[in-house]
C-alpha cells in the first residue's frame, strides 16, 4: 500500500454541495484507490496554505485576487511537485453575470492557472471556454467531467408512467434559477402538475413568495439524501444561470428521469444528449419546454443511465496521475 503515490486534495469550500460530493467520491472510489492514496485536506479561506508532504497536490480551491499570494507561495514551496488545479466554479456564463471587469478577471485566472502544471476543466464546455479565452495553456488543460457514485440512483424505481412531478434539487441560490422555474410552473394550467423543491438557501423567502397561492408547489427543505429527492420526482428541471458541471443532471440521468435544463456551460455535458435544452431564462420558453417534456411521457430519459461516468472519471484521474508522476512514481516522494 505504501508504494502508492500520496495525493493531497486541497479544498476551501467544505459546505455540502457539488465540490464536496466529488471529493467524497474521489476519497471513496475503489478504482481510484488502486492508483493512489487520496487525502482530502480543508484549508482556511483567506489565509496562507500550510506546506504539504505529498507526491502531488490537487487544488480544488476557489481562485481570487485575495487567494493569489497564497497560491504563489504554495507553488514556490513545492517547486518540484506536480500541482493540478480543478476549476469547479468559473465558466462563461458565470463571467457574464458576475464579473464587472472581465479583462481583470481573465488576468487573474491566467496568472493563477499558470502556477499549475495541469488545469482540469470539469466539463467540455468549460474546457472549450478556458481554451477560447486563452486562460489555460492547451498542453496544460485536461477535461475530466465530474462524477459521483451513481449506483444508488440507478437502483431507484423508474419514474411513474404519466407522472407529472417536476423536481428542483439544489441550493436555493440565484445561481440555480429556481425563480424562473416557479414562475414558469405557475403559468402552466395543469391541476395534476407538481413542483417539488428540495434544498435551502438565501433565495428561499423570495421563492416562497413567488409560489404563494399555488398549492401545486411544495418546499421540502433539505432532502434526507439526494436519492430520496430524486425518488419523489418524474422530471428534473435545472434553469441554472451558470453551472461548471451540474451533478444533479448526471444523477437524474442515472435515475432515468427526464431533464429540462438551461443551455449553459457544463449542463451541455452533464445533461446528456436526451435532455431538453432551453435557451435563455424567458418564462414563456420555460413553460413551453416543461409542458412539452411532460407531454412526451416517461420516455426521453437517458436509456443508458449515464453508464460509465464514474469509471471514466477514475480512469481519467489515474491517467493524469500516471502522466504527472511517471510509471516509477510510487516512492518518489519529494520533500514538502
Partner 1 sequence: MSYASIVVPAFNAAATLPETLRSLSAQSFGDFEIIVVDDGSTDATAAIAEAHAKTDRRVRLVRQHNRGLAGARNTGIAHARGALIGFCDSDDRWMPDKLDAHVLHLATAPHVGLSYAGSAFIDETGRRTGHAMRPRLSHVGTAHVFKRNPVGNGSVPVFRREALEAISWRPASETKRDWVFDETFRQSEDIECWLRFALTTDWSMEGVPGLLTEYRINSGGLSARTDAQLAAWERMVTKLRPTDPAFFARHESAARAYQLRYLARRAVSSGDGETACALVSRAFAESRAPLREEPMRSLTTIAAARLCARYGDAPMRFARNVLSAVRS
Place of cell 504539504: 52
DSSP 170: S
Among 6, 40, 75, 106, binds partner 1 (CB under 8 A): 106
| Residues of span 199-258 touching partner 1 by CB under 8 A | 241
275 lines the binding site for partner 1 (CB under 8 A): no
Least distance to partner 1 from the beta carbon of 280, Å?
A: 7
Least distance to partner 1 from the beta carbon of 131, Å?
A: 12
85 contacts 59 by C-beta, under 8 angstroms: yes
Region from 41-49, 274-282, 300-308, 311-319 binding partner 1, contact rule CB under 8 A: 274-282
295 lines the binding site for partner 1 (CB under 8 A): no
92 lines the binding site for partner 1 (CB under 8 A): yes
97 lines the binding site for partner 1 (CB under 8 A): yes
Among 282, 308, 331, 336, binds partner 1 (CB under 8 A): 282
Least distance to partner 1 from the beta carbon of 109, Å?
A: 11
Q: Closer CB to partner 1, residue 265 or residue 302?
A: 265
Strand order in the sheet with 217-221: 217-221, 194-198, 165-169, 235-238, 258-262, 276-278
| Residues of span 10-69 touching partner 1 by CB under 8 A | none
* Phi and psi torsions of 203, nearest 5°: -90, 0
168 contacts 199 by C-beta, under 8 angstroms: yes
Q: Helix crossing, 204-211 with 178-187: angle to 10°?
A: 0
- Joined grid coordinates for residue 259: 431533464
133 lines the binding site for partner 1 (CB under 8 A): yes
241 contacts 219 by C-beta, under 8 angstroms: no
179 lines the binding site for partner 1 (CB under 8 A): yes
What letters, b where the CB count within 10 A reaches 16 and e where it falls short, cover 191-206?
A: eebbbbbbbeeebbee
Q: Closer CB to partner 1, residue 129 or residue 153?
A: 129
> Which residues of the shown chain bind partner 1 in the complex (CB under 8 A)?
92-93, 95-97, 99-103, 106, 129, 132-134, 174, 179-180, 183, 241, 279-283, 288
Amino acid at each position: 500500500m505504501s508504494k502508492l503515490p500520496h495525493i493531497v486534495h486541497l479544498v476551501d469550500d467544505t459546505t455540502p454541495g457539488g465540490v464536496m460530493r466529488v471529493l467524497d467520491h474521489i476519497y471513496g472510489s475503489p478504482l481510484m484507490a488502486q492508483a493512489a492514496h487520496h487525502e482530502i485536506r480543508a484549508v482556511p479561506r483567506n489565509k496562507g496554505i500550510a506546506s504539504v508532504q505529498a507526491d502531488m497536490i490537487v487544488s480544488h480551491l476557489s481562485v481570487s485576487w485575495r487567494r493569489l499570494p497564497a497560491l504563489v507561495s504554495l507553488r514556490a514551496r513545492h517547486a518540484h511537485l506536480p500541482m493540478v488545479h480543478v476549476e469547479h466554479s468559473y465558466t462563461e456564463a458565470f463571467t457574464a453575470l458576475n464579473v464587472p471587469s472581465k479583462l481583470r478577471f481573465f488576468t487573474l485566472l491566467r496568472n493563477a492557472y499558470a502556477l499549475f502544471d495541469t488545469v482540469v476543466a470539469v466539463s467540455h464546455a468549460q474546457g472549450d471556454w478556458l481554451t477560447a479565452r486563452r486562460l489555460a495553456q492547451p498542453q496544460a488543460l485536461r477535461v475530466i467531467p465530474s462524477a459521483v457514485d451513481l449506483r444508488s440512483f440507478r437502483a431507484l424505481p423508474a419514474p411513474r408512467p404519466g407522472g407529472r412531478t417536476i423536481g428542483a434539487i439544489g441550493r436555493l441560490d440565484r445561481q440555480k434559477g429556481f425563480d424562473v422555474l416557479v414562475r414558469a410552473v405557475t403559468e402552466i394550467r395543469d391541476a395534476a402538475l407538481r413542483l417539488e423543491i428540495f434544498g435551502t438557501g438565501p433565495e428561499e423567502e423570495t421563492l416562497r413568495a413567488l409560489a404563494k397561492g399555488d398549492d401545486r408547489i411544495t418546499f421540502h427543505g433539505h432532502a434526507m439524501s439526494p436519492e430520496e429527492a430524486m425518488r419523489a420526482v418524474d422530471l428534473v428541471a435545472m434553469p441554472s444561470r451558470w453551472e461548471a458541471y451540474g451533478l444533479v443532471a448526471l444523477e437524474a440521468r442515472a435515475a432515468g428521469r427526464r431533464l429540462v435544463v438551461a443551455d449553459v456551460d457544463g449542463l451541455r455535458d452533464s445533461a446528456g444528449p436526451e435532455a431538453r435544452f432551453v435557451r435563455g431564462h424567458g418564462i414563456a420558453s420555460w413553460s413551453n419546454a416543461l409542458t412539452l417534456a411532460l407531454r412526451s411521457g416517461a420516455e426521453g430519459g437517458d436509456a443508458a443511465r449515464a453508464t460509465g461516468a464514474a469509471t471514466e472519471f477514475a480512469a481519467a484521474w489515474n491517467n493524469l496521475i500516471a502522466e504527472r508522476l511517471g510509471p516509477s512514481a510510487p516512492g518518489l516522494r519529494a520533500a514538502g
